[in-house]
Structure 1
Amino acid sequence: MTPAARIAAAIGVLDQILAGAPAEQALLRWSRASRFAGSGDRAALRDLVFGALRRRDSLAALGGGLSGRGLMVGHAHQAGLPLDAIFTGEGHAPAPLTPQEAAPQAADPLPDDLPDWLRPDWHRALGAQADAVAQAMTDRAPVWLRVNLAQHDPAAVAEALAAEGIATQPAPDLPSALRVVSGDRLVARSACYRDGLVELQDLSPQRACARLPLAPGMRVLDYCAGGGGKALALAARQPDMKVAAHDVTPARMADLPARAGRAGLSIALQTRPRGPYDLVVADVPCSGSGTWRRTPDAKWRLTRARLDDLVAVQGRILEQAAVLVAPGGSLAYMTCSLLEAENGAQIDGFLAANPGFREGDRQTWTPLDGGDGFFIARLVRS
C-alpha cells in the first residue's frame, strides 16, 4: 500500500471508531476485508489510528473537524507530510483537500487531548504534573520485558535478545526490567519469549511487584489475576512460595499454566480461593487511565457513570479480598489508573471502614517515570 492508501484506510477505520466501534474491532474488520495488505501495512495502519486517537482533539483542531478525514488532515499538518502528494483523489488516495483543509486550523493553545468532563479530576489527582502527564499520554508507550529471575540473569537475557535483533536497556532502578529500544515487533516470535526467559510486562507493575515483601513459604494469591502476569512475577522473585491465581472469569487464565511451565514455575488456579493468605494482590478493574497510550480509544469511551460503577466494584473487591488475608498479612491493592477516586480515595475509605487494617505504604507512577500510570497501596492486617 502507498502512504496515501494507508491514510485513506485510516480515515475509514477512524470513522468507525468515532461512530462507537472499539478500535481493535474496527482494525480487525479492516484487516479481514483487506487480504491484500501485508504485515507492514497492518502495522502502519495501527500506528496511524492509535496515534490519531491519542491526539484526537488536537488533530481535529488542526484538521478542521472531528472525523476520520479531519484527524488524518491534522496528522499530515502536524507531521509535516506533503499534503498535495497524499490527498490527490487518484487510485486509493483520499480526495483532494479543500481550501479550508489546506491550511492548518490551529487553535492557540491546542486542546490537551483529555475528555472535558474528566479534566478537573485529572488536575486534582496530578497537580503540577497534570499537563506534562497529559502530553506524555499522546506518545506511543514503550515496550518493557520482565526477565524471569527464577532461572535467568538479566544481562545474559539481554545478550540473547540482541542476538535475535531485539535491543534492550535495563531500567536504572530495576535491572530485571528491560526496555525494548529496537525490534519490538520481533519479541512475540523470539526464542527468548517462547522459552520463558522474558514476559511482556510494563515497567510500573514490575516495580509494584518488586516492592512487595516476600519470603520462603508464604501463601500468595493473585486475586484479580487476568492473564496472571503478577502471579508469575511474584513467583519468579521467590520460587519457594505457594502462589495461586484467581479471576472471576477463569477463561482469562487459560494460558497461565503453559506460561508458568515455560518459566519453570508453578501457579495453582483457583475458582474459589480460601484463605488465609500471607499476601493477597488485587489488581482491580479500573478506568485504565494510566494506560491510555496503549488503549487510546478507552480515554474517549470513559464516562462519569462508568467511572462511578468502577469505583463501586473496586470497593466490593477490596472487601472480598480483605477476608482472605491472614493476621499480619498484607493486601496489595493495585490499579493502572491515575485518578484519585480509584486510588487514594478508595484506600482512605477502606481504612476508615476497616480498623483491622493499617496502611503500609502507597506509590503512584506516571508515564513521566518511564512506564504506564500505576498505583499500589499495601494494607497490613493487624
Structure 2
Amino acid sequence: MTPAARLSAAIEILDRIRDGSAAEPALSGWARASRFAGSGDRAAIRDLVFTALRCRRSHAALGGADSGRGLILGGLREAGTEIDALFTGERHAPAPLSEAERAHLAAPIELDRLVALDCPDWLAPQLEASLGADFAPVMEALRQRAPVFLRVNTARATVAEVQERLAAEGIATRPVALSKTALEVTGNARKIQNGACYREGLVELQDAASQALVEALPLAPGQKVLDYCAGGGGKSLAMAARAALTLYAHDAAPRRMRDLGPRAGRAGAEIVQLATAEVPGRAPYDLVLLDVPCSGSGSWRRAPEAKWALTPERLEELTRIQSDILEKTAPCVAGGGTLAYATCSLLAVENGARIAAFRAAHPEWHLVEERRFTPLDGGDGFYLALLTRG
C-alpha cells in the first residue's frame, strides 16, 4: 500500500470507531476485509489510528473536524507533512482538500492548553490536583506511543542470558532502571510472540511499572497468595517467578483468565484459578493483591479510547467498586498478612482517597507503604498501597 492509501484506511477505521466500534475490532475487521494489506501496512495503519486516538482533541482542532479525515489531517499538520501530495484522490488516496479544509489548514491556530495536552476538560482539575507540577509533562507523555517492555522469567534465566538470546533472534533490547526484570524492546518488537524466548516462557510482555509494582510486594517462599483481580494474569506470573508460592488467581470475569493456563504452562508456574465463591474457602492468605478496576488513566498511551470514554458517572461507579473490593477481601488476609491495593490510575480519588476511606472505616489496618509511578518514570502510571492489620 502507498502511504496515501494507508491514510485512507486509517480514516475509514477511525470513522468506524467514532460510530461506536471499539478500536481493536475496527482494526481487525478492516484487516479481514483487506487481505491485500501486508503486515507492514497493518502495523503502519495501527500506528496512525492509535496516534489519532491518543491526540484526538488536538488533532481534531488542527484538522478542523472530529472525524477520521479531520484527525488524520490534524496529525499531518502537527508533523509538518506536505498534505497536498497525499490527498490526491488517486490510487486509493484520500480525496483532495476542499476549499474549507485548505483555508483551515492555512490559518494560524493557537491551541488552548488542555486541547494541546489532549486532556478532557472535566478531568483536568482532578489530574492537576493529583499530579501537581507533573501534570503537563505527564499529559504530554500520554500523547506519545508507549514503549514495549518484556518481563524476564528469572525463575528460568537471568536478564543477561535472555537479552543475549533475544539478540540472536534479531530482537534488540536494553535494561531499564524502573524494574530489575524488565527489558525495553528497541528493535523488531513484532518478532517477539513468534520467537523461541516467548514460546519457551522466558519472557512475557508486561509494562515495566507493572513489574516494579510486583517487585515491591513483600513475597517470601511458602506464602499463600491471592491475585484477586487477576485479569490476564501478568502479575500472577510475575509473582510466581519471584518465589515458590501457593498462588491463586481470581477474576470477576473468568474469561479474562482464559490464557493464564497456557501462559503459566510455558513459564513453568503453578497457578490455581478460583471462582468467586471459592475465594473465602481458601482463606486466609498471606498476601492479597487487588489490582482493582479503575479509570486506566495511567495506561492511556496503550488504551487511548478510555481517556475519551470516561465520564464522571463512570468514575464515581469505579470508586464504589474499588471500595467494595477492599471491604470484601480484607477479611481474607491472615493476621500479620498484607493487603496490597493497586490501580493503573493517576487519579487520587481512585488511589490515596480509597485507602484513606478504608482506613477510616477500619482503623485496625495500617498503611505500611505507598508507591506511585507515572509515565515520567518510564512505564505506565500505577499506584500501590501496602496495608497490614494489627
TM range (shorter): over 0.9
Question: Residues 247-298 of structure 1, C-alpha deviation per residue, up to 9 Å, x if partnerless?
Answer: 1122222221221121112111111123100000010111100000001111
Q: Which of residues 223, 227, 252 is equivalent to 1:218?
A: 223
Q: How does 1:9-48 map to 2 (within 5 A)?
A: 9-48=9-48
- Name the structure 1 match of 2:96: 96
Q: Which moved more, 1:41-50 or 1:108-117?
A: 108-117
Q: Tell me by how many angstroms 1:175 deviates.
A: 2.7
- Name the structure 2 match of 1:3: 3
Q: Tell me by how many angstroms 1:238 deviates.
A: 0.5
How many aligned residue pairs are there?
A: 381
- Name the structure 1 match of 2:261: 257
1:6–1:44 contact (8 Å) kept in structure 2: yes
- 3-state SS, counterpart of residue 280 of structure 1: strand
- Name the structure 2 match of 1:106: 109
Amino acid aligned to 2:247 = V
- 3-state SS, counterpart of residue 155 of structure 2: coil
2:58–2:111 contact (8 Å) kept in structure 1: no
1:74–1:104 contact (8 Å) kept in structure 2: no
- Name the structure 2 match of 1:360: 368
- In the aligned structure 1, how far is the partner of 2:4 from the partner of 2:265? 46
Q: Which of residues 184, 192, 199 is equivalent to 1:187?
A: 192
1:61–1:107 contact (8 Å) kept in structure 2: no
Give the percent of matched residue pairs that are identical in Structure 1 and Structure 2.
Answer: 57
Amino acid aligned to 2:88 = T
Amino acid aligned to 1:73 = L
- In the aligned structure 2, how far is the partner of 1:126 from the partner of 1:102? 34
Q: Which moved more, 1:280-289 or 1:63-72?
A: 63-72
Q: Tell me by how many angstroms 1:53 deviates.
A: 0.9
Q: Which of residues 308, 311, 318 is equivalent to 2:319?
A: 311
1:137–1:293 contact (8 Å) kept in structure 2: yes
- In the aligned structure 1, how far is the partner of 2:108 from the partner of 2:307? 24
Question: Residues 1-46 of structure 1, C-alpha deviation per residue, up to 9 Å, x if partnerless?
Answer: 1111111111111122223321112212212221221111111111
1:61–1:105 contact (8 Å) kept in structure 2: no
Q: So what's the TM-score if we normalise by structure 1?
A: 0.97
2:179–2:209 contact (8 Å) kept in structure 1: no
Q: Tell me by how many angstroms 1:229 deviates.
A: 1.0
Q: Which moved more, 1:370-379 or 1:55-64?
A: 55-64
Q: Does 1:160 align with 2:168?
A: no
Structure 1 gaps, min length 5: none
1:325–1:331 contact (8 Å) kept in structure 2: yes
Q: Which moved more, 1:255-264 or 1:349-358?
A: 255-264
Q: Which of residues 110, 113, 121 is equivalent to 1:116?
A: 121
- In the aligned structure 1, how far is the partner of 2:141 from the partner of 2:331? 38
- In the aligned structure 2, how far is the partner of 1:65 from the partner of 1:134? 22
Structure 2 gaps, min length 5: none
What value does the CA root-mean-square deviation take over the aligned residues?
A: 1.3
2:152–2:204 contact (8 Å) kept in structure 1: yes
Q: Does 1:242 align with 2:250?
A: no
Q: So what's the TM-score if we normalise by structure 2?
A: 0.95
Q: Does 1:52 align with 2:52?
A: yes
Amino acid aligned to 1:225 = A
